[in-house]
């Protein structure tokens, strides 16, 4: 069954889709080639909008019309990821005091969890932390694992652990 062009007084076959509304809905009408050209030539998505509405639309379009949040917000992706990574309960044994090359001090729960994620002993020297981080980044980088999301999440966890230890060691020096 062939569709007739949806243009007034046209009996040609309607093969080309033209939107009915501006809301990106799936509603469309079928037009013949001549009338779809006419429709496209006169189409103006912004025709009913004032300047402020056009500017708001263009700003929203830069982020694919999805809500954004500041990096400092409490529900920022990386803050949530880090807090979830550190939420696991730690063994009491691991909380005991440790020594490192900078002297005696206690690591907090986040530091201990970060050592655990990197797979190195608590209180390791900075060079060992850095070397282990480089090895893990190469191993779990998405480019090395065909873009597998599982490895991407692991790499994020490793990066956050490294950042935690880097900040701790910077403060302790």
pLDDT tens per residue, range 88-113: 444 434 434 333 444 556 788 899 99
User: Do 169 and 111 meet the contact criterion of CB atoms below 8 Å apart?
Assistant: no
pLDDT, mean of residues 127-155:
83
**Most confident by average pLDDT, 64-73, 120-129, 142-151:** 120-129
Buried b (16+ CB within 10 A) or exposed e, 143-152: eeeeeeeebe
pTM comes to 0.43
pLDDT at 8 over 50: yes
Across the chain, what does the average pLDDT equal? 79
pLDDT the model gives residue 151? 81
State whether the Cα torsion 23-28-29-32 is positive or negative. Answer: positive
Q: Indicate the domain borders of the chain.
A: 1-67, 77-172
Which two tokens mark 157? Answer: 């966890």
CA distances from residue 3 to 12, 17, 18, 29 in whole angstroms, order as listed: 9, 11, 14, 10
Which two tokens mark 95? Answer: 């909380």
């Amino acid at each position: 069954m062939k569709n007739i062009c949806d243009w007034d007084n046209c009996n040609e076959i309607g093969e080309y889709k033209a939107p009915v509304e501006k809301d990106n809905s799936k509603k469309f009408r079928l037009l013949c080639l001549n009338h779809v050209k006419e429709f496209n030539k006169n189409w103006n998505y912004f025709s009913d909008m004032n300047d402020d509405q056009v500017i708001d639309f263009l700003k929203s379009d830069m982020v694919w019309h999805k809500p954004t949040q500041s990096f400092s917000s409490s529900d920022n992706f990386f803050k949530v990821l880090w807090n979830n990574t550190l939420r696991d309960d730690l063994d009491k044994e691991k909380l005991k005091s440790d020594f490192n090359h900078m002297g005696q001090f206690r690591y907090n729960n986040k530091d201990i969890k970060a050592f655990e994620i990197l797979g190195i002993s608590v209180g390791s020297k900075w060079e060992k932390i850095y070397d282990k981080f480089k090895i893990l980044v190469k191993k779990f980088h998405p480019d090395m694992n065909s873009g597998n999301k599982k490895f991407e999440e692991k790499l994020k966890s490793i990066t956050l652990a490294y950042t935690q230890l880097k900040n701790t060691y910077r403060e302790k020096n």
